[in-house]
Amino acid sequence: DVVARYKMARGFNVLHPMGWDAFGMPAENAAMERGIHPSEWTYSYVAVMKAQLEPMGLSLDWSREFATCDPDYMAQQQALFLDFMEQDLVYRRSAMVNWDPVDMTVLANEQVIDGKGWRSGAQVERRELAQWFFRITDFAEDLLDSIDGLESWPDKVRLMQRNWIGKSRGIEIPFALEDAPEGFDAILCYSTRPDTLNGASFIAIAPDHPLSKALEGGSADLAAFNAECRKMDTTEEAFEKAEKKGFDTGLRVRHPIHPDRALPVWVGNFVLMDYGSGAVFGCPAHDQRDLDFARKYELPAPNAFFLPGDETPVGDEALVPPKTDTVIYSDHFAGIGEATSQDGIDRTIDWMEAKGLGQGQVKYRLRDWGASRQRYWGCPIPVVHCEACGIVPEKKENLPIALPMDVDFSKPGNPLDRHPTWRDCVCPACGGPAKRETDTMDTFVDSSWYFARFTAPKAETPTDPEAAAYWMNVDQYIGGVEHAILHLLYSRFFARAMAKCGHLTKANHEPFQALFTQGMVCHETYRDAAGRWLTPEEVERSSDGATALADGAAVEIGPSIKMSKSKKNVVAPEDIVARYGADTARWFVMSDSPPERDVEWTAAGAEAAHRFLQRVWRLMAEAELAPAGGSAPTDISQTAMDLRRATHRAIRDVTADIEGFAFNKAIARLYELAGALGKTGTEAGLGFARREALETLARLASPFVPHFAEELWSALQGEGLLTGAPWPQADATLLQEATIVLPVQVNGKRRAEIKVAADADAASVEAAALADEGVRKHLGEAGPRKVIVVPGRIVNVVV
RNA sequence: GCGGGCGUGGUGGAACUGGUAGACACGCGAGAUUUAGGUUCUCGUGCCGCAAGGCGUGGGGGUUCGAGUCCCUCCGCCCGCACCA
């Protein structure tokens, strides 16, 4: 908001959508307080905001922009989904999902909100279900390459996206099986380190690998082992500690380069079926995980390469030097001797491909986006299931497929599934009876394209190309780091997918020009002796501790963490606004910490912000001011001149600070300006300078405290609304000083300050420095050996 | 484990590309106003020291006339990813 208001003052057209998080929380709280049924929340967002805004004489036109709660947005999102189906950007397949029996209904349940069991893993089951997926992996390469162009994004986020996409170049190598069951003549292993193939000593396949499954029939032990492994992957902690376990199938494969070597085939609990081919060759000498496994099951660990000048065989630590380091390959089949690992990898892949021993492959960690949710809360997927025609897209004229209002939340699972009539519909293809899809879309879908929709929120199609071309792309996107990967990657995918459907253009492939990740508002946490969380209002906080207001008992103060309902460390925005006013809250949140960092909400800090705004108001009310619209008097006092200089310095510095997102520093400059103004006391003849300072203060503070600044402006009889006034310009002549103060160091320690003309040459500065009493005291008898003069900065005398 | 970041007063934090460390605010102390408390105003406040002075940006070392900033090393904290072959 600060950036948007600043940009408007600089004369830009600003389309400034509000995120729903900020409004969502109060709306959600209000809905709960009023006992609104969760099924109505989607609609109650709008209702609550209407109730809040209409008394202020504001219309709620922009309510249409709220994603799931807006039938129009829902219709267009469903239309978009249908277009994606047509372009083969979405598909349905069977997949294992975490099936969460806890639906939105539980949010209304006190216990769950208390943080005892909300989403605790225990309630989540793994089920195999038919799911809808977006083909985001089709864009993996482009999504990765384009990250280089996102120059105004934080490096951190760019790196996280790169890692998430996780590109790797490797090769698929078939290992010929001996005495294998029907249909299996080779195991295909994926490797990014084929240069270490000489060090291969075993093959490990995933428990879910087809071969492993096929062998289960003949071995009860293997079946039991596999069943054990499948159970494991549910809880994360178990995953972390899980030991590398294996099961020897008794099968053997031939080493592709050295057919005389037979390698044992193991099933390993650490091999993932959904990465690569679900099978790896184990190279213990150059992979720690393989080495642990080999030591446990007494498998050999031959080196494929050594460090130069050190041929010690591998011990308990795998030899994995950086890929840019030079190593000495030992007896490498492609004749590679001394080379970097990276070079060795590339040459090995080329050599093996040429010999027909494997197929070079580029793989990504990125998976297709599973967008199905078995929840009520969300935009229904607009397809129907027809016995005769199968899966049929709904007709666009029937959109939106809205959610029913009468739903039963008393049982776990998706309430749409058991709705008595909602599923019944007519097949758009054959006209026969059909059933609606009950999966709803991941809410990330809603946020993946709202910025495009907002450019024309009433268009009959998902976007109005003309409006999109005018407004897009987003110049400055601001959000929390928690969106660094999912939301921002999905949106980048959506922009490409929408371009493919003609809703955007190629110029919109990167929808967010610049990204800023802001911190969160945090607060201390409080717990009583019984371990119950207490809200800040229930606690009396003093400098040396805290007690409960209810009974005066001591309260344990916990760390300051992100405000959350479950920890009760929440100060509701309405309460802040009621107590201090919205501008005080805005001012405080901006003033204390740099915006990319978390800010600690403290009552004392808010009070201080409040006091400052009051002080500015008093300064205005009590000051003797020149009439509005006057021009600067030519002959003014030193005090007036100093104030004018301070004013124009503030313009320069605050402007630079806002441009650089250093809002806390901008606010510090405004404190300084107010301080300079206050210092002038009741001295007469400062009317113009005071008016200038106050008008400037109002203008510079307006992005932070828009209402307060507007009041100040009006009290100063400023012309029109402050919102329409241009951003002030610093007067260059007032930024220049005739004389400056320079620090003088002797041997690097500051010993004195000298006053010199701003444009004094080095020789005269040196002379002035050496003449200074404080400096001479430290010179000693030998006198200076060397004098360093950094113009405008510092003088250093070396003795 | 891999990748990234950070470490400055009692606290939140300033310090532009190596150039006066601690802006601004909170807190604390003293004083003024007030019947009192609060508000408001003034002054002080990195640490040690009566002072002169000395010491100070997680520890140690280095480069430099000069280091919070650059390099090496150790320690601590935070974030992201994680049996990724």
* pLDDT, averaged across chain A: 83
- Residue range A218-259, pLDDT digits in tens: 889 999 988 888 776 544 444 445 678 899 999 999 999 998
| Cα–Cα dist A194/A186, whole Å | 17
Residue numbers 35-74 of A with CB closer than 7 A to any atom of strand B: none
Closest CA to A268 of A319, A232, A234, A316: A232
pLDDT band at residue A114 under the 50/70/90 scheme: very low
A496 phi, psi to nearest 5 deg: -70, -45
Q: Which residue is nearest to nucleotide B82 (CA to C1')?
A: A240
Is the minimum distance from the CB of A388 to strand B below 7 Å? no
Residue-wise pLDDT tens digits, A155-194: 889 989 999 999 988 999 999 998 888 888 899 999 999 9
For residue A482 the two structure tokens come to 């928690």
Report residue A199 as tokens: 């060090």
Q: How far is CA A323 from the centre of its chain?
A: 30
The label of the residue with tokens 């301070």 reads A646
Convert A334-350 to b/e letters by CB count within 10 Å (16 or more is b): bebeebebebbbbbbbe
- Who among residues 502-541 of A has its Cβ near strand B, under 7 Å? none
Residue A392: both structure tokens together: 């049929």
- The integer distance in angstroms from the CA atom of A649 to the C1' atom of B45 is 27
Nearest to A642 by CA among A668, A681, A612, A611: A681
DSSP designation for A594:
-
Kindly report the bases of strand B lying within 7 A of a protein C-beta atom. 1, 3-5, 12-16, 19-21, 23-28, 39-42, 53-54, 65-67, 79-85
* pLDDT score of A233: 52
Q: Which nucleotide is nearest to A196 (CA to C1')?
A: B85
Q: Tell me what pLDDT residue A753 has.
A: 85
* Calpha distance A728→A231 (Å, rounded): 66
Q: How far apart are CA A290 and CA A301, in angstroms?
A: 9
Residue A796, nucleotide of least CA–C1' distance? B65
What average pLDDT does the segment A423-437 reach? 95
Verify if strand B has an atom below 7 Å from the CB of A278. Answer: yes
Phi first, then psi: give them for residue A147, nearest 5 degrees.
-60, -35
- Say which nucleotide is closest to residue A193, CA to C1' distance: B85
| Interval A31-76: pLDDT, tens | 444 444 433 333 334 444 455 445 545 444 433 334 445 678 889 9
Sequence-ordered strand ranges (E) for A528-582: 533-534, 539-542, 545-548, 556-562
Secondary structure class of A499 (helix, strand, coil) = helix
Tokens of A596: 């990319």
- pLDDT tens digit sequence for A586-608: 899 899 889 988 888 888 888 89
Q: Does at least one atom of strand B sit less than 7 Å from the CB of A362?
A: no
Q: What pLDDT, in 10s, does the model give residues A115-136?
A: 333 333 345 566 778 999 999 9
Using the predicted structure, report yes or no on whether residue A318 has a pLDDT greater than 80: yes
The predicted model scores a pTM of 0.85
Is A212 (CB) below 7 Å from strand B?
no
How many residues make up chain A in this entry?
799
Mean pLDDT for the stretch of residues A671-692 = 90
Kindly report the backbone phi and psi dihedral angles of residue A440, in degrees, each rounded to the nearest multiple of 5, phi listed first. -110, 165
Strand B close to A561 by CB, under 7 A? no
Contact flag, residue A161 CB and nucleic strand B, below 7 A: no
Single out the residue of A320, A339, A75, A23 nearest to residue A193, CA to CA.
Answer: A320
The answer to whether residues A134 and A493 touch, using CB atoms and an 8 Å cutoff, is yes
The answer to whether the beta carbon of residue A747 comes closer than 7 angstroms to any atom of strand B is yes
The tokens for A129 are 């279900």
Q: How deeply is A113 buried, as exposed, middle or buried, from its count of CB atoms within 10 A (0-12, 13-18, 19+)? A: middle
Contact A492, A165 (CB under 8 A): no
Strands A440-441 and A372-373: antiparallel
Q: Is A195 left (phi over 0), alpha (psi -120 to 50) or beta?
A: alpha
Q: Which residues contact A746 (CB under 8 A, 6 or more apart)?
A: A775, A778, A779, A796, A797, A798, A799
Residue A597: CB less than 7 A from any atom in strand B: yes
Q: Using the CB atom, is residue A644 less than 7 Å from strand B?
A: no
Whether nucleic acid strand B comes within 7 Å of the CB of A341, the answer is no
The end-to-end CA distance of chain A, in Å, is 55
How many Å does it take to go from CA A144 to C1' B27? 49
CB-strand contact A744/B, under 7 Å:
no
- Pick left, alpha or beta for residue A454 (phi over 0 → left; psi -120 to 50 → alpha; otherwise beta): alpha
**How far does the CA of A733 sit from the C1' of B46, in Å?**
37
Tens-digit pLDDT profile for residues A445-472: 888 998 898 888 789 999 999 999 999 9
A454 φ, ψ (degrees, to nearest 5): -65, -20
A698 CA vs B18 C1’ separation (Å): 37
Give the per-residue pLDDT at A190. 92
DSSP secondary structure, A720-750, as one string: S-GGGSPPP---HHHH--SEEEEEEEETTEE
* Residues A556-568: tens digit of each pLDDT: 777 777 777 667 7
Please list the alpha-helical segments (H only) found in A195-287: 210-216, 220-232, 236-241
Residue A775: its pLDDT value, please? 85
Tell me the ipTM for this assembly: 0.93
Q: What are the tokens at A676?
A: 């300079």
How far is residue A279's CA from residue A251's CA, in Å, rounded to a whole number?
Answer: 14
